[in-house]
């Protein structure tokens, strides 16, 4: 069975592309097929780091978005990652509504995951609230990613009705630990994958490579909790036309 992952959050700078890159590396390291789509016209961060697997698409163009469905049809066991740029939800929702996209994925045997990446600010929580208001029971699984690299104080969110509502809807809530800022900078300046950062002696020192490996291990455990979770236990959701 294939899987489609929409990595969103609507807000810029919360770590959507970072999450896409980590999920891609997790899938590659799991020796599974990975296909990526990058909707960010400004930075193309996802496709820059995984150019062999990823290509750009335009979220305001149905013909371009339809390439996602074509990829799913032609690769029935693939893991497809769509890195959503900021403020793309409106276009995505219209495409989903007009084409019954989730119905198509269901007919193709794909599990659908919507990832909401957030910092610890109120805007990210409000955007999650907006997303939750467009969800109803169906086959989509919601994942909320608290990015500790973009904020350390998620207490207000965790105590909020928004978080409570997400949990009631069966959302998986995971943490993305922060990587040391200097290591993040070295990875970016070298245009390297996380595998290269953890293994290439020409990029990192021994200690730095080990630090990246520890960081990845923690993240992979969090991803395992979502992707190897018994989907019969979690409630599921899908977009409505509201």
Length of the chain: 242
**Other beta carbons less than 10 A from residue 182's beta carbon:** 9
Residue 135 has a pLDDT of 73
| pTM for the whole structure | 0.91
**Other beta carbons less than 10 A from residue 46's beta carbon:** 29
C-alpha to C-alpha distance for 199 and 51, rounded to whole angstroms: 19
Residue 138 has a pLDDT of 60
Alpha helices in the chain (DSSP H): 16-29, 45-49, 62-74, 89-99, 101-107, 122-132, 155-158, 161-168, 181-189, 194-199, 206-227
Low-confidence residues in the chain, pLDDT < 70: 136-138, 229-242
Fold of 3-181+219-239: Rossmann fold (3.40.50)
45's CB contacts (< 8 A; 6+ apart) are: 17, 21, 38, 83
C-alpha to C-alpha distance for 1 and 3, rounded to whole angstroms: 7
């Amino acid at each position: 069975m294939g899987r489609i992952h929409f990595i969103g959050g609507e807000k810029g700078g919360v770590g959507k592309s970072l999450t896409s890159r980590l999920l891609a590396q997790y899938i590659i390291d799991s020796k599974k097929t990975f296909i990526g789509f990058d909707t960010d016209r400004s930075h193309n961060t996802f496709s820059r780091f995984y150019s062999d697997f990823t290509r750009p698409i335009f979220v305001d163009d149905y013909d371009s978005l339809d390439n996602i469905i074509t990829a799913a049809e032609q690769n029935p066991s693939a893991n497809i990652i769509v890195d959503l740029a900021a403020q793309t939800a409106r276009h995505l929702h219209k495409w989903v509504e007009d084409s019954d996209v989730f119905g198509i994925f269901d007919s193709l045997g794909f599990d659908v995951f919507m990832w909401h990446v957030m910092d610890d600010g109120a805007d990210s929580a409000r955007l999650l609230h907006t997303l939750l208001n467009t969800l109803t029971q169906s086959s989509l699984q919601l994942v909320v990613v608290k990015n500790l690299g973009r904020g350390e104080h998620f207490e207000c969110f965790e105590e909020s009705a928004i978080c409570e509502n997400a949990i009631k809807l069966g959302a998986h809530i995971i943490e993305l630990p922060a990587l040391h800022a200097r290591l993040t900078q070295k990875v970016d300046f070298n245009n390297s994958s996380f595998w290269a950062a953890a293994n290439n002696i020409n990029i990192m020192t021994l200690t730095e490579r080990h630090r990246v490996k520890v960081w990845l291990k923690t993240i992979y455990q969090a991803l395992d909790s979502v992707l190897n979770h018994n989907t019969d236990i979690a409630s599921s959701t899908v977009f409505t036309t509201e």
